[in-house]
Amino acid sequence: MKKILVLCTGNSCRSQIAEGYLKHYAGDRAEVYSAGIEAHGINPRAIAVMREDGIDISAHTSDVMDRYLGVGFDYVITVCDNARERCPYFPSSAQQLHHNFPDPAKAQGTEEEIMQEFRRVRDMIKAYCESFVGENLK
């Protein structure tokens, strides 16, 4: 079984969404974790947009990457440039992948406009995760 770690800055939105989709698409073919350079707690809007797509991430925890330093990951995926820059080397033999997704937590406007940005980013992450699983977890 493959082990996957998704890294982001605060482990509150993008990495949590990716963890949810990777678990969904990989099923029992992978153990999936997410962490951040810092732990900001899970953004309630991330929980809401995932719930809209039928995936419950409300029980996820917001963790700091140091918690997983001893785990032998097969893949470490950074989902924001900040995490990649601040963690250019994760001490493991894992294959490191990177895709910079916009930070929906920085969206401004009305609540509906902010939620639309969360949905847009969610859909980008969903497509990436589905593709990743199809290419790497056959």
pLDDT digits (tens, 9 = 90+) for 7-50: 998 899 999 999 999 999 999 999 999 999 888 899 999 999 99
Concerning whether 80 is annotated as a catalytic residue, the answer is yes
Concerning whether 129 is annotated as a catalytic residue, the answer is no
Query: Which listed residue (8, 49, 50, 121) is catalytic?
Result: 8
DSSP string across 45-109: HHHHHHHHTT---TT----BGGGGTTS--SEEEE-SHHHHHH-S--SSSPEEEE-----GGG--S
Query: Which listed residue (30, 32, 65, 80) is catalytic?
Result: 80
Hey, which CATH number is domain 2-136, 3.30.70.20, 3.30.160.40, 3.40.50.670, 3.40.50.2300?
A: 3.40.50.2300
Sequence spans of domains, the chain? 2-136
- Percent of the residues in the chain that have a pLDDT greater than 70, as a whole number: 92
pTM recorded for the entire structure:
0.93
Concerning whether 13 is annotated as a catalytic residue, the answer is no
